[in-house]
Amino acid sequence: MGFTFSSIRQYHTDLQAGACTSTDAVLFYLEKIRQSAHLNAMVMVFEEEAIARAAALDAALQAGQPLLPLHGVVITIKDVLCYKGHPVTASSKILSGFSALYSATAVQRLMDAGAIIIGTTNCDEFAMGSTNENSAYGPVLNAADNTRVPGGSSGGAAVSVQAGLCMAALGSDTGGSVRQPADFCGAVGLKPTYGRISRYGLIAYASSFDCVGILGNSVADVASIYNMVAGPDGLDSTALAGNAPKVPEYETNESRATYRFACLAPTLEGSILDPEIKAAFEATIGKLKAEGHQVEFVPFDLMDYIVPAYYVLTTAEASSNLGRFDGVRYGPVATTEADDLTAFYKRNRSAGFGPEVKRRIMLGTFVLSAGYYDAYFTKAQQVRRLIMNETASIFSRFDAILMPVSPTTAFKIGEKNADPVAMYMGDIYTVFANLAGIPGMAIPLFRHSNGMPFGLQVLSNHGEEVPLHLISAYIEKLFQ
């Protein structure tokens, strides 16, 4: 088959020139999905539906109708986003057999823009995890090295981009769940400002942190998706009001602006950061300075509190959000033999939830309990406010913050399962953006001596996705 994909823009040029059709694209990706089944990235594949939609889009184009913004763009969606009439399980046994009754706003906007949803991707159960090993469907394998994790929780989405199973993917990012797997798999990953993309139809993990995110092969492709799904939504009370500014089409930073970059001093201190990642980050700083940009290390005394505050708050919200999954309203009933309602719930939830979800529910219930609420939850909220204030202060003086995405490259499957705290500490660079509610972009730039990809993270001020894309595109081009 002669179809090849390099970018959404080039794909649309080829469609208009008659060099390929949307049907060609769908058949190409269906074959790639079949060939890559061992990676376990896909949960469901909508083969017949995708072919039929592609044929309809091709017919519309041949009839002289205009090219839609995402005409024929083949996309996967994480198994936490509702797509009406299709299974959605959050990769959990407790939602086995459940089909969505409506479509998430982000998914509907993709469809309205002409996209083709080819299937749903595997993820950590209820988006809780950093490796995609916590799934009822089993672990996802990193396409670059099948013995390594792809990151999580959007590991299947990242691998679907990495292995060429789609053109772009929707994931969710509560504490790095788009950016970290993007880094592990060599993809671009966007976490928008909290509320910039509607959460309506996204199965909740921690409602004040959850963001719908985007993964793609380039900053420009991510921007194409972002422009279609971002914006206000009357169905989500937390969605930002006012139209989201569109990221303009660009080659690379035509204005050749001089940027002011901040680096948080603690991010390069201590032994947690891999030496090669540290060296590459320092080399990046040197290259940016040589290009005339200002790069300055700034103090950030709250660094040690970021991970504890994040896990106190997100587990508290998770324990509340997951209370609805009791085997009555959703999912299969594990048993009908119980002495009372409490025993009935316990048996259903014990059978339906995996170990990591149970751990987080119990931790969240503990920090919300009467004797510990003020000591943990209230204190964590205060830390979050301090982080937001300090972040705003930094952005009053700088255009963007640069930091690593992860302390390490993708590690071996099972390597960190015996130490949950060490696993949680690996999120130190990504949870910052979720606590502060700001947008961030992971950009793949480098290759480690172990053969695995990694890059850096660009963070911008609240609501400033357009500058974030332009700066990220500039850095992406600088290292090509």
Active site residue 78: yes
Within 10 angstroms of residue 19's Cβ, the number of other Cβ atoms is: 13
Write the Ramachandran bin of 148: left for phi over 0, alpha for psi from -120 to 50, otherwise beta: beta
Distance CA 459, CA 473 (A): 13
Is 255 marked active-site? no
What sign for the dihedral angle of Cα 249, 219, 435, 208?
positive
Give the active site residue among 78, 92, 135, 160. 78
Q: How many residues does the chain have?
A: 480
Q: Which residues of 196-326 form beta strands (DSSP E)?
A: 212-216, 260-264, 294-298
Contact 78, 86 (CB under 8 A): no
Cα angle value 163/202/385 (rounded, 5°): 105
Catalytic-role residue among 22, 92, 172, 177: 177
Under 8 Å between Cβ of 190 and 473: no
**SS3 for 170?**
strand
Q: How far is residue 225's CA from residue 247's CA, in Å, rounded to a whole number?
A: 10
Q: Are 411 and 426 in contact (CB under 8 A)?
A: no
Catalytic residue among 130, 153, 160, 218: 153
368 secondary structure, DSSP code: H
191 given a catalytic annotation: no
DSSP-derived 3-state class of residue 239: coil
Q: From the DSSP assignment, how many helices (H) and strands (E) are in the chain?
A: 15, 11
Q: How distant, in Å, are the alpha carbons of 69, 245, 304, 480 from that of 91?
A: 31, 34, 32, 36
Cβ of 338: how many Cβ atoms within 10 Å?
14
Instruction: Quickly list H helices, 74-117.
Output: 105-112
Active-site positions read 78, 153, 177
